[in-house]
Structure 1
Amino acid sequence: MKFTMMIPLTLFILIILGGSVYCERPSVVNVGAIFSFNSVIGRVAKAAMEAAASDINADPRILSGTELKLIREDTNCSVFMGSIEAFQVIEREVVPIIGPQSSSIAHMISLIANGLQVPLVSYAASDPTLSALQFPYFFRTTQSDSYQMAAMADLIDFYGWKELAKKMSKVSFKLTLPTQYDLSDITYLLNKSKLLGPRVYVVHINPDPGLRIFTVAQKLHMMTGNYVWLSTDWLSATLDTFSTENQSSLKILEGVVGLRQHIPQTVQKKAFLSRWRKMQKNGQIHSELNVYGFYAYDTVWAVAHAIDKFLNEHYNIPFSFTDKLHDEKGTETQLGKHKVFDGGKVLLKKLKDINFTGLTGQIQFTTDQNLVNSDYDVINIAQMAIHGVGYWSNFSGLSTLPPETLKEEQISHYHPDQKLDNVTWPGGTTEKPRGWVVASNERPLRIGVPNRASFVEFVTESHSSHKIQGYCIDVFNEAQKLVPYDIPFKFEPFGDVKEDTVSTLGRLVMVVWLFLLMVITSSYTASLTSILTVQQLSSSSITGVDSLIAGDWPIGYQLGSFAYSCMTEILYIPQSRLISLGSPEEYDKALRLGPSNGGVAAIVDELPYVELFLSQQTDFGIVGQSFTRSGWGFAFQRDSPLAFDMSTAILQLAETGRL
């Protein structure tokens, strides 16, 4: 596509008096407005910016008779088109550019604005990476998403839905939708997410009048009491533009909690709302007002204040030609001849210095060229209506008091507690959802069970019925009854009956929701003890583990038990002295043979196994005191929320004597 460079001529009247030259202020100053006309934000912003321009041109206190003219161009939600429109408005000598509303388009236009020294002021581009450090000509008159994510993190922390013990939430899974997503994309992602543990969803997308994510979620039975749906401010911006006829759409949003950029309730805000309704009645506007309309209105006023101060000092708006466009790194980009705004750096400073009260509150920029205030409403959709349940600000966190009230009371060192009003959750419940599941019917908890040939009273698989049974299984079944939620599960035997379960476990650690059942003791430690024959008890010099260590007799241990590593690595017993035994029958034989006839002097094993063996054999006994080393218990996947609940349940079994 070929573009023709149109260079308008601006005429100035020169008056020479006493050797001095004066320039008359321009009659018109052009301000570019690049945004997507046919969008949730764009339809509202267009009317709001036109209203602001009209008010500015009717106010003799600003611009002193110079008309502010908006030069609008439609990006059609396209980065490519947005870049083309940026060059087209710059050719018309605009100072500055307002918009765009899309962060991705803002990234591209910011590069152009930097090169041509034209300030870019956006009322909707919220990406935190749009920083003044990288884009010195970029200003933001809306909230950065860095604050919105901080608000969301505080909200999640407030309700306790986090995987870390510290006050930091962890995003377990990120589900990314394509730019032009459809219902099948949403269905695929949500079905995929149902196989995961977390049930707290944070939805951060562009405004979607069709509310497609929630429509699909409802069809997939995901808008129930087991789920938590949190939304960034795209949802409130969308809902605020709904007409009364569209309020029925709120039915599928029952229980959703979201954020809305906070605007103080002032006389100016109420007056603008009344004016908006009149424009609707007159057919001038066909959309309800959302927060971006207020921000767009204030943005036009912000650039008007900066231009006014600029003209008061410089009178004219100078441009000059450049053959090459340079980016911030000094790289030359061949884009033909372009006009650079010679007063761009000065106007940049004027924008940095503005400070006035607009419809949205105080309009003043921080050093990184964001608004000084970062406040949000916390909203809850219930019974087909939007309810405010509190506020969030970057200085006080969550509160039921408006941020402007807290700022007044902050002078007296008032520090509010984190608090919100009652919330209705999906399914209509007022009880806070748990926010996660350890398993589902589609993907039950997989419990690894060692396939044992010895001491089968603890755990084994019946060869005839293939039923998993034993003491460990009984403990698990009783404990899971005390866990306050359902745990779909299935047992999976592993090992070849003689195999070392520790090495097998090493191969299973990648299994999702791995849960290894071992013997449970009330102290959560393994008690090691020694057993001898009755004859040895009366004649042997072995009196306990210390004398056993000091001697040179062979010592038996159970194959696969951690007793082996304990004796070699902690008690420093030579490996040559240790004899592996695989069953109670081998215990009996080795002890009866004794150390002189190819047997063992004693066996060191874990107390539950020893007690089971002694309950069936009366010719043996325990010598010395047992000693403990950590080793036995339930093993969970790292960060599994089930670990705490199962531990609590087992303690309850122990305290009641049922264990």
Structure 2
Amino acid sequence: MSVQMPLFFTIFISFIFLSHGSTTAVEHQNNMEAANIGAIIDVNSRVGKEVKTAMEIAIQDFNEDSDNRKKLILHVRDSGRDPLQASWAANELIEKHQVKVILGMKTWQEAVLVADVGHRAQVPVISLATASITPPLTSVRWPFLVRMANNDSLQMRCVAALVSSYQWRRVITIYEDDAYGGDTGMITLLSEALRDVGSEIEYRLALPPFSSLSDPKVAIREELKELKSKHCRVFIVVLSSLSLASHLFAEAKQMGIMGKDSVWITTDTVTSLLDTTNTTVITSMQGVLGIKTYFPETSPLSRDFYVKFRRNFRSEYQEEDNFLPGIHALRAYDTISTVAQAMKTLTNNSTSKMLLENVLLSHFTGLSGKISFKGSELSHTPVFRLVNVVGKSYKELNFWSPEFGFSESLMDKGGKKSGDGDRTMGKLGVPMMNWPGGLQGVPKGQELRTGKRMRIGVPANTSFEKFVKVEPNGSVSGFCIEVFKAAVEILNGKNPHSIIYDFKPFYDSYDDLVDQVINKRFDAVVGDVTILANRSKYVEFTQSYAESGLSMIVPVKSEVTHNAWIFIKPFTTNMWLVTGAIFLYTMFMVWFLEHQSNPEFSGQWKNQLGNTLWFTFSTIFFAQGDRLHRNFTRVVIVVWLFVVLILNSSYTASLTSMLTLRLLEPTVTDIASLKKYNLPVGVDGYSFVKKYLVDVIKFKPENIKSFGKEDNIPGEFESHNIYAAFLEIPYARVFLSKYCNKYTTTDGTYRFGGLGFAFPKGSPHAADFSEAILELSESGKLKDLENNLFSPSHKCSDETKTESLSLHTFWGLFLVTGGTSTFVFLLFLINLLRKPQKKPSSSDENLLNGTVELEEYSQNETIITSAPTASSIPVD
């Protein structure tokens, strides 16, 4: 009994304290000052549902905090996406519920009308709508309006940066246009951003409001028919309605507008809702690129919010397929947090203006990022994320910020890039990107036009006619022309009659020819035109179809080889050493196998060494008859004779080649010698080479001569008008294929961009021909054309420098003879050990007896061989 009383007393006291605490909590709730907050949202839209759920969670979190002296009460009204209905709802919230602040308003049109109501009633209005173009004197017209969003100009700059990265020059915009202007403000911002990067909007497709469409499928299909006739295939979708965007992509895919070579880009208003769309919509958006506002998701507050949001959203909106919150829900939560913190220091006597001032002084980190204001809108610069729709979802690619452009990772706290911030989208890599229609490679963004005849300029004044040759009757031929025709054949195979052309000869310099493309007198230039940096600024070059660079051609002097030690050149040093080692090894084997039974390999050690050495060495030149007594030795010698035969034949052939070789040595070895002695050099008068020699290599202009045609070069050398000729690599290869015995290249080669076709800036043909040239290269046809161009003349002999024979060539041969000798040696030892035994016992006794007999046999053989014989009489 004494034990139970303290326990009962403890429970009783605890119950009293808990009851008192509970009463205190209830009293605290009852004593809290109530503050009404109004929210105007489109409650039937996905965004509206997310905003409503997030606000309710924020209100609950605030009211459950025991440190707060106020209780927030949320009053939600439906705007129906109608600005007039939003304005009526604002009046009703102020007059009936005396709300302290009004939140929501997804569109700018709703925000400004509600702001007018708030201004008259002196009630702050915090809008979630982004502003494309901020009207002048906004703070004067709507002094109680605060924007919980950023200006759309940064997002449009991000879109323009993406377009610029792939050099798409023209785009088509698709936007929603209603009685209040719709998305026209964003289109204006986009147009300005594109102009800054050298691109432009070719066509603007305005779709009617989704709410006004009785049959969206038919209406959208009629609008999209206009796009079928357009040349541009880069579409930027600027829609604020997910329903309209869903129908748009479904119809575009069915009509074939989302095929290969097309590009579709969506802004944040659509991309931010990809997590909430169903599988059908995602399927029709395969390959779409999207710009999405980035927000962190790793803080404890975020994790707690996600749990509550999924639970509450699933409970209230069971018809939805996805229960994850988007950026709109996060901003709605942060909006309530901003108002709640601003109200903490206010009393019942505080004015609305004091509340507004506290809101604008906010500075904290919320779910959507940093919350602070400047000029009545968020001051924090957003970071955007590029995403690519793939499969049933999307994959996240690079980040974009106005400070650093595209980068693979976010910046650290110090403001420095934690990744390669200079990495552009062009460097992101084609394999990482999925495009509409499953295209492999970057889309051109434009469709080839058919039926128009292209004027193709070709150089008529060419030094090397194998590249381009213009006949008197106007016909054109040559390597460059063949490459062009082969590329056209590929393109017309994909799109029949897409390329129709006429060649137009041009009798002036190559730079002037390229200028004709810039001035649009020619649609393209086809010929041996070198891709240079200064030319690429004004024209669009294709993929290079031939390498290019500067090579120095000089005459050669011919000499016959005279060298007293040339007889050791056929073999390398390692080859001689290994041959000697194998020779000595074979000599040892012959002596070991023969010296006990063959009198010619016995006697004094000097005689044994001399005879063995003489025997082995003489096998190189003639056979040895029956001087060998053991079959083991004969096996070793047979293999050795085979090795000797191969080495002897190889040595003779290599030495013969070296003795008859004519060495071609250049008369001039480097550019420095030419400049030092002011020797004249020759160049093609129609190319850029002369200017390059003067500006880059620093030749004196008076020392540079023009040789005109290819056939004039030998005469210029013979008359000593020039001592070297500077030719581009393709020309040098053609020249040397004809005069390979008289001229050679020397010194280093200066590389250029290669030979390519030139098109006007922004022309889709450049990308088409680049793709065709790559196909020619991969199929081997381009190589065949090159072989025909650079095939050597029949006058050219195939004289090349003979290399010394190395160990790498004969290591297998040495392995055979060494291995054979070693194998025979082992067999010989085994044969001695396996002689018949008198008393076979255990294995250990057999081994011992065999060893004893081997020793006795060796002693007997020594006694026999020590007897004086004719072969053992000293000869010296």
TM-score band, normalised by shorter chain: 0.5 to 0.7
8 Å contact from structure 1 (residues 479, 649) kept in 2: no
Range with bigger deviation, 640-649 or 198-207: 640-649
Deviation, structure 1 residue 184: 3.0
TM-score normalised by structure 2 residue count? 0.45
8 Å contact from structure 1 (residues 100, 124) kept in 2: yes
Change (3 A) 1:409 1:418: farther
Q: Tell me if 1:149 matches 2:156.
A: yes
The DSSP-based 3-state class of the residue aligned with 2:308 is helix
Tell me, in whole angstroms, the C-alpha distance in 2 between the residues paired with 1:642 and 1:252.
Answer: 29
Change (3 A) 1:173 1:120: same
The DSSP-based 3-state class of the residue aligned with 1:76 is coil
Amino acid at match of 1:426: P
Deviation, structure 1 residue 222: 1.9
Aligned runs of 1:417-436 on 2, under 5 Å? 417-419=422-424, 420=428, 422-436=432-446
The match for 1:222 among 257, 262, 274 is 257
8 Å contact from structure 1 (residues 447, 516) kept in 2: no
8 Å contact from structure 1 (residues 34, 98) kept in 2: yes
Q: How many residues align?
A: 445
> Which residue number in structure 1 is paired with residue 329 of structure 2?
293
Change (3 A) 1:255 1:416: same
Q: Deviations over 1:611-648 (max 9, x none)?
A: xxxxxxxxxxxxxxxxxxxxxxx999995444798899
Deviation, structure 1 residue 350: 1.5
Deviation, structure 1 residue 186: 2.2
Amino acid at match of 1:151: C
Range with bigger deviation, 106-115 or 46-55: 106-115
Change (3 A) 1:480 1:203: farther
Deviation, structure 1 residue 53: 0.9
> Which residue number in structure 2 is paired with residue 137 of structure 1?
144
Amino acid at match of 1:47: T
Deviation, structure 1 residue 136: 3.6
Higher fraction of strand: 1
> Which residue number in structure 2 is paired with residue 85 of structure 1?
89
Q: Deviations over 1:390-418 (max 9, x none)?
A: 222233222221x3xx1325258987123
8 Å contact from structure 2 (residues 491, 772) kept in 1: no
The DSSP-based 3-state class of the residue aligned with 1:176 is strand
> Which residue number in structure 2 is paired with residue 27 of structure 1?
33
8 Å contact from structure 2 (residues 145, 376) kept in 1: no
Higher fraction of helix: 2
Tell me, in whole angstroms, the C-alpha distance in 1 between the residues paired with 2:330 and 2:415.
Answer: 27
The DSSP-based 3-state class of the residue aligned with 1:398 is strand
The DSSP-based 3-state class of the residue aligned with 1:43 is helix
The DSSP-based 3-state class of the residue aligned with 2:155 is helix
> Which residue number in structure 2 is paired with residue 171 of structure 1?
201
Tell me, in whole angstroms, the C-alpha distance in 1 between the residues paired with 2:104 and 2:335.
Answer: 9
8 Å contact from structure 1 (residues 100, 125) kept in 2: no
Amino acid at match of 1:377: R
The DSSP-based 3-state class of the residue aligned with 1:188 is helix
8 Å contact from structure 1 (residues 51, 297) kept in 2: yes
The match for 2:79 among 61, 75, 82 is 75
Change (3 A) 1:35 1:196: same
Deviation, structure 1 residue 124: 3.8
Q: Tell me if 1:95 matches 2:100.
A: yes
Change (3 A) 1:279 1:520: closer
The match for 2:364 among 340, 356, 366 is 356
Deviation, structure 1 residue 523: 8.6
Aligned runs of 1:449-488 on 2, under 5 Å? 479=484, 481-482=486-487, 488=497
8 Å contact from structure 1 (residues 390, 398) kept in 2: yes
Amino acid at match of 1:352: L
> Which residue number in structure 1 is paired with residue 275 of structure 2?
240
> Which residue number in structure 1 is paired with residue 47 of structure 2?
41
Tell me, in whole angstroms, the C-alpha distance in 2 between the residues paired with 1:368 and 1:97.
Answer: 15
> Which residue number in structure 2 is paired with residue 366 of structure 1?
374
Tell me, in whole angstroms, the C-alpha distance in 2 between the residues paired with 1:648 and 1:241.
Answer: 38
Deviation, structure 1 residue 31: 1.5
Tell me, in whole angstroms, the C-alpha distance in 1 between the residues paired with 2:523 and 2:487.
Answer: 17
Change (3 A) 1:516 1:190: farther
Q: Deviations over 1:232-288 (max 9, x none)?
A: 12323333224xxx3343222111111222111222222211222222454576542
> Which residue number in structure 2 is paired with residue 416 of structure 1?
421
Q: Tell me if 1:251 matches 2:261.
A: no
8 Å contact from structure 2 (residues 261, 439) kept in 1: no
> Which residue number in structure 1 is paired with residue 60 of structure 2?
54
Q: Deviations over 1:295-329 (max 9, x none)?
A: 111111112222324x15xx4255xxxxxxxxxxx
Deviation, structure 1 residue 101: 0.9
How big is the alpha-carbon RMSD for the aligned residues of Structure 1 and Structure 2? 4.1
Tell me, in whole angstroms, the C-alpha distance in 1 between the residues paired with 2:239 and 2:208.
Answer: 11
Q: Deviations over 1:478-528 (max 9, x none)?
A: 7475368556548799xxxxxxxxxxxxxxxxxxxx99779989899xxxx
Q: Tell me if 1:108 matches 2:113.
A: yes
> Which residue number in structure 2 is paired with residue 303 of structure 1?
339
Deviation, structure 1 residue 200: 1.1
> Which residue number in structure 1 is paired with residue 610 of structure 2?
none
8 Å contact from structure 1 (residues 83, 105) kept in 2: yes
Tell me, in whole angstroms, the C-alpha distance in 2 between the residues paired with 1:193 and 1:205.
Answer: 17
Change (3 A) 1:61 1:159: farther
Q: Tell me if 1:376 matches 2:384.
A: yes
Change (3 A) 1:249 1:57: same
Deviation, structure 1 residue 118: 2.5
Change (3 A) 1:219 1:410: same
Tell me, in whole angstroms, the C-alpha distance in 2 between the residues paired with 1:416 and 1:104.
Answer: 37
Deviation, structure 1 residue 57: 1.2
Q: Tell me if 1:447 matches 2:453.
A: yes
Aligned runs of 1:398-413 on 2, under 5 Å? 398-401=406-409, 403=410, 406-411=411-416
8 Å contact from structure 1 (residues 209, 238) kept in 2: no
Tell me, in whole angstroms, the C-alpha distance in 2 between the residues paired with 1:476 and 1:54.
Answer: 76
8 Å contact from structure 2 (residues 334, 366) kept in 1: yes
8 Å contact from structure 1 (residues 260, 379) kept in 2: yes
> Which residue number in structure 1 is paired with residue 189 of structure 2?
none
% identical aligned pairs: 26
Amino acid at match of 1:34: I
Q: Deviations over 1:96-145 (max 9, x none)?
A: 21010122222322333334432221224443436854644332223432
Aligned runs of 1:195-214 on 2, under 5 Å? 195-209=229-243, 211-214=246-249
Change (3 A) 1:114 1:638: farther
Q: Tell me if 1:183 matches 2:217.
A: yes
The DSSP-based 3-state class of the residue aligned with 1:172 is strand
Q: Deviations over 1:362-397 (max 9, x none)?
A: 111233512413122221111222211122223322
Tell me, in whole angstroms, the C-alpha distance in 2 between the residues paired with 1:75 and 1:193.
Answer: 34
Tell me, in whole angstroms, the C-alpha distance in 2 between the residues paired with 1:285 and 1:371.
Answer: 37
Amino acid at match of 2:166: Y
The match for 1:276 among 288, 309, 328 is 309
The DSSP-based 3-state class of the residue aligned with 1:160 is coil
TM-score normalised by structure 1 residue count? 0.59
Amino acid at match of 2:295: I
Tell me, in whole angstroms, the C-alpha distance in 2 between the residues paired with 1:481 and 1:49.
Answer: 65
Unaligned runs of 5+ in 2: 1-30, 171-193, 456-472, 503-519, 531-756, 777-781, 790-876
Tell me, in whole angstroms, the C-alpha distance in 1 between the residues paired with 2:267 and 2:364.
Answer: 28
Q: Tell me if 1:120 matches 2:152.
A: no
